[in-house]
Amino acid sequence: MTTMESLLRLDILPAARLSQLDGDARRSMLGGACFSHPAYLPDTTDLPFLSVDMPRPPGEAALCEVWHSPEPLVSGQQGPIRYRQGATLLFGCLSLDESTVAALQDVRTPLQSVTETAYQAIFELLDAHDFHAVLRFWNYFPAINRESHAMERYRQFNIGRQDAFLGHGRSVVGKVPAACALGTAGGGLHIAFLATRADVIGVENPRQLSAYHYPSQYGPRSPTFARASRVKLGGRDMLFISGTASIVGHQTLHHGDVAAQTRECLHNIAAIVAEANRQAPGAGFRLDALAYKVYVRHPEDMATVRREMAQFIGASMLAFFLQADVCRADLLVEIEASGGHAISPCQADSSNGSSPCLSTSA
Ligand code: 3EB
């Protein structure tokens, strides 16, 4: 029997380590994103990496998430998008400055306009390369909760995103990708995406109204994302869980209580995992086998969120933490996760067997 190598692997490693890797180690990289404040510019100019200006917990170093594939990969650039693809997967990213795109007579706000431009460019690339299904979008931009042009910026983003989906004849309900949208400490609009030629299935959460059906009290256009997406790659079931918050139905619960919000996020993630296992009975997705990325609004809440997560998931939890604004002003924490693919937690110090970047300790 041969050991089947996973078609996709997630590596979490300190940014400083990424820069040291040689050609061999880089060959299997699809791309990724690095997080720190100020933004860290990795020395990976030939690969699609986002530099996101987002603080790590106090004293913790810049960290990168790196997606790998064992398939032969080629890199390219189309317009603003840097990408890298194999036969099955394509990872791409772009960073745009919203101050440069708006025409004076444009009725769209600058953020709405740059968002629509970015998503149009992404869909053009994907159509041209026959990668029709997106597994996951990551969206990062500054001042996500700030009001400008008489509308919260997250709501402006939602209009631009939805218009690009509609403009490319894509569905904005039901069959939509998993995603997240978080506030950065600075910089422009940064979007990363992972697309595939395989069939992607959306997973919704029975505890939550689908975000694409949110009522208009949350903005004139509903957000275009699924609670999770599921795919079978190389015989393995994989799950990409969107940013998940303390929302039940369509309402925020536990105002001002970060511990209770964290537990509600985890109940939602557990419900998504259960729903994915119901759809794909052989998949065997487990909460304690996912890799988590956790966005906490207030740095002083990090320890509480970490403690609640370790209690819920178990001591073997793989999670890394970032300080970010979440896309409703009353949300204090948002948690995303993925699993079914291979995961290698980072070893900042290879001489000691522990994994300091993805551990439950502070
Ligand atoms: C929510 O459930 C919280 O706009 O892409 C989570 C995941 C959220 C993705 C997005 C927003 C997005 O509504 C916010």
Q: Is the pLDDT of residue 354 over 80?
A: no
Could you tell me if the CB of 89 is within 6 A of ligand 1? Answer: no
Protein residue closest via CA to atom 3 of ligand 1: 245
Q: How would residue 101 be classed by pLDDT, with cut points 50, 70 and 90? A: low
As beta bridge partners, residue 156 has: none
Could you tell me if the CB of 223 is within 6 A of ligand 1? Answer: yes
CA distance 126 to 81: 11
Q: Is the pLDDT of residue 214 over 60?
A: yes
CB of 42 closer than 8 Å to CB of 18: yes
Domain locations along the chain: 9-343
CA distance 143 to 129: 33
Separation of CA 340 and ligand 1 centre (Å): 22
Q: Is 5 a catalytic residue?
A: no
Separation of CA 181 and ligand 1 centre (Å): 6
pLDDT of res. 107: 85
Least confident stretch, 32-46, 78-92, 246-260, 294-308: 32-46
In Å, the largest CA–CA distance within the chain is 64
Separation of CA 356 and ligand 1 centre (Å): 29
Could you tell me if the CB of 211 is within 6 A of ligand 1? Answer: yes
Among candidate residues 265, 274, 249, the one with its CA nearest the CA of residue 335: 265
Q: Is the pLDDT of residue 75 over 70?
A: yes
Protein residue closest via CA to atom 13 of ligand 1: 211
pLDDT of res. 21: 85
Sorted by sequence, the CB contacts under 8 Å of residue 202 that are 6+ apart come out as 174, 175, 176, 177, 178, 226, 227, 228, 229, 230
Query: Residue range 36-53: average pLDDT?
Result: 88
Task: Give tens-digit pLDDT for 138-149.
Answer: 999 999 999 999
CA distance 95 to 81: 8
Protein residue closest via CA to atom 6 of ligand 1: 243
CA distance 68 to 71: 9
Question: Going edge to edge, which strands form the sheet with 74-78?
Answer: 74-78, 81-85, 89-96, 189-196, 133-142, 178-184, 325-326
Q: Does domain 9-343 have CATH number 3.30.70.580?
A: no
318's tokens: 């793989």
Separation of CA 245 and ligand 1 centre (Å): 8
Of all atoms in ligand 1, which is nearest to the CA of residue 180?
A: 9
Instruction: Note the pTM of the prediction, 2 decimals.
Output: 0.95
Could you tell me if the CB of 242 is within 6 A of ligand 1? Answer: yes
Of all atoms in ligand 1, which is nearest to the CA of residue 336?
A: 7
Mean pLDDT over each residue of the chain, to the nearest integer: 92
Q: Is the pLDDT of residue 69 over 80?
A: yes
pLDDT of res. 232: 97
Among candidate residues 137, 150, 60, the one with its CA nearest the CA of residue 91: 137
CA distance 161 to 178: 13
In whole angstroms, how far apart are CA 120 and each of 33, 36, 101, 274, 305?
21, 28, 14, 34, 36
CA 290-293-294 angle, 5° bins:
125
Of all atoms in ligand 1, which is nearest to the CA of residue 214?
A: 13
Could you tell me if the CB of 219 is within 6 A of ligand 1? Answer: no
Could you tell me if the CB of 327 is within 6 A of ligand 1? Answer: yes
Could you tell me if the CB of 7 is within 6 A of ligand 1? Answer: no
Q: Is the pLDDT of residue 356 over 70?
A: no
The residue from 152, 204, 334, 336 that is catalytic is: 334
CA distance 104 to 88: 42
| Mutate-to-test residue for ligand 1 from 242, 244, 326, highest number of ligand atoms within 8 A of CB | 242
